[in-house]
Amino acid sequence: QKEVEQNSGPLSVPEGAIASLNCTYSDRGSQSFFWYRQYSGKSPELIMFIYSNGDKEDGRFTAQLNKASQYVSLLIRDSQPSDSATYLCAVNPSGTYKYIFGTGTRLKVLA
């Protein structure tokens, strides 16, 4: 069974701090990795995707991928109260149309 695991949290950080969210996956052949933000009662919104080892930056967000260790992380710099949400990690295993989601990490940014 291919799995994606995340710490459910909540992860609490003060406003202005860096929030670090982590995700591990079991399928070593996975090629595509995604981070979604989901506000309570709303649908997931894609915020970052990464396909290659290393870092990818977009504004305050940085995705980091380490295929050898099978983990992907999301860093949120200068965290704001509006970043408080559940962050879902998703993996698209190689050669499939399917996506496997983690159960999400709840982030709380304290003003």
Instruction: Note the residues at the interface with other proteins (CB under 8 A).
Output: 32, 34, 36, 41-46, 49, 51, 88, 90, 92, 97-104
Q: How far is the CB of 42 from other proteins (least distance, A)?
A: 8
Q: How far is the CB of 93 from other proteins (least distance, A)?
A: 11
Instruction: Decide whether 24 or 92 has the Cβ nearer to other proteins.
Output: 92
Instruction: Decide whether 68 or 98 has the Cβ nearer to other proteins.
Output: 98
For 82-103, give one letter per residue: b (16+ CB within 10 A) or e: ebbbbbbbbbbbeeeeeebebe
Instruction: Decide whether 36 or 79 has the Cβ nearer to other proteins.
Output: 36
Q: How far is the CB of 23 from other proteins (least distance, A)?
A: 12
H or E stretch covering 88: strand 85-92
CA-CA distance, 94 to 43, in Å (whole number)?
Answer: 25
H or E stretch covering 73: strand 71-76
